[in-house]
Amino acid sequence: MSKLQKPWYIVIEGAIGVGKTTLARMLGERFDTHLILEVFEENPFLARFYESRERYAFQTQMFFLLSRYRQQQHRIRPMLGRQAIIADYMFAKDRLFARLNLGGDEWDIYAQLHSALTEQIPRPDLIIYLQAETDVLMRRIAQRDRPYERDMDRTYIDDLRQAYEDFFADFQAAPVLPIDTNPLNFVARPADFEFIVERVRSALREGIHQPSLPDMSPTIGGERLLQKGSPLADFQKFHTELDRIKGFETNIYFNYIRLCEEIGELGSELATSWKRHGQPDRVSFSAPETAAIGEELADCLAYLLKIANYAGIDLEQAYLQKMRRNQERKW
């Protein structure tokens, strides 16, 4: 168990079968949070909806809308700011499902009620958006074997998956952390779960391995872009802005050459220290040596971040994915 540093309100979203509830339970236990799970089993229309979507869509959707609203008001709102919360759904998803299932007057009635209720819904601090391909979703739905899902329409799941993609493509109401779950099995493989935990902590700026900057962070145009404990993504943004302001060369191959030069300078500093200390197996560096080596390492990191920017790579995510694979390797 490792509690979060602040009473965050986190929600997990994604299409049916992606693993929202399972992950919510696991993260809730890891972070010792207040757990909110959707009570979909209480919907008396749900089983009939899957048998006849058009006939029972309105009843099903209205029940979910009011049920989710009550849960938001009576279970989530009183806990905000007092204890960390993880929920396996966000209120806004209700409209996404309704848009897919309702039409005509039913949609108009629903939309008016939803708009009125939304004004009183608390905003999450982070949305974990779990993604998976339709075939993966169908396989997971079959594996959990809920009776009313046994004849699940693949087209419906595919439409729902696409609706989620479209919904989050331009979603700006809260921070979103997308996680591709296609290659993951966070229930059976601990390394996969730890990968997600690190991604969540990083998104909340609570990462165990977060780089730490001095309080006198570099500024651009008087604005401090990097704060103490900033995630690696902010380091990349800093260099993007620095390139723009300073007019630095952004050719990826040129910067690769500069990286090689910096690695050479790092090697030179290490070789000098090694010789100065009589070529021992281990060296206890002096303060000036540590400072010089630190500067060269910082230059190397700067060029790595710049190259990642030019290649369109989220270096933090790439690193975590690679370390997850390394954990599974037999050396």
Neighbours of 232 (CB within 10 A): 22
Rounded-to-integer distance, Cα 110 and Cα 115, Å? 9
CA distances from 80 to 33, 125, 194, 201, 225 (A): 12, 11, 26, 19, 29
195 close to 128: Cβ distance less than 8 angstroms: no
Rounded-to-integer distance, Cα 113 and Cα 95, Å? 11
Tokens of 7: 């009473």
Among residues 256, 261, 246, which one has the least CA distance to residue 308? 256
Q: Tell me the sheet residues that pair with 130.
A: 179
Rounded-to-integer distance, Cα 232 and Cα 237, Å? 9
Q: Tell me the sheet residues that pair with 35.
A: 86
157 close to 138: Cβ distance less than 8 angstroms: yes
Q: Between vectors from CA 202 to CA 328 and to CA 175, what angle results, nearest 5°?
A: 125
State the maximum Cα–Cα separation within the chain, in Å, rounded to a whole number.
85
Among residues 57, 326, 8, which one has the least CA distance to residue 194? 326
Rounded-to-integer distance, Cα 303 and Cα 255, Å? 6
DSSP helix/strand/coil, 251: coil
Q: Tell me the sheet residues that pair with 177.
A: 128
Tell me, yes or no, if 88 is annotated catalytic: yes
204 close to 233: Cβ distance less than 8 angstroms: no
Active-site residue, from 32, 88, 234, 314: 88
Active-site annotation, residues: 88
